[in-house]
Amino acid sequence: MIRFFTWKEFDHSVDYIADQCNSLELSGIYGIPRGGLCLAVALSHKLNLQTIDKPIKDSLIVDDIYETGFTLKKFKDVENATFFVLFSKTTPSWWNTVNISDKKEWIVFPWENQKNARNERGKYLKKRGVN
């Protein structure tokens, strides 16, 4: 199953995250390359905070999707960091999400090549040994 996430949905998600973080004292926003970069830039403008090149104390760390947790867990020990993802394929425990997604759902973000979505999904599933 493929889901095409729209710019309008992205904008609503940015608004939601900004509302959740408005009262926090954040030192900056770190977007995990590559999926978190668009989100970090949008939130940077919305919250009037700078993007940073590495996570630091009190930073907002964002990514596009939490699937296995492998990427986000690398930053779990950043002191007093706040974590947000656009989509989580599991119930959040120490991170925050805007959307919960089915594990089998393939999300295509608006900044991705939509014509290539099926091919990318196929490569991903093959890499993980799923038919």
Confidence of residue 103 (pLDDT cuts 50, 70, 90): confident
Tens of pLDDT, residue by residue over 49-78, are 999 999 999 999 999 999 989 999 999 999
Summary mean pLDDT of the chain: 92
CA 83 to chain centre: 9
Q: Is the pLDDT of residue 130 over 70?
A: no
For residue 7, what are the contacts with CB-CB under 8 A and spacing of at least 6?
110
Number of domains in the chain: 1
Residue 118: CATH number of its domain: 3.40.50.2020
Q: Is the pLDDT of residue 105 over 80?
A: yes
The DSSP code for 51 is: B
Single-letter amino acid code for the residue at 76: K
Where in the sequence is the domain holding 103, given as residue range(s)? Answer: 2-127
Question: What is the model's pTM?
Answer: 0.89
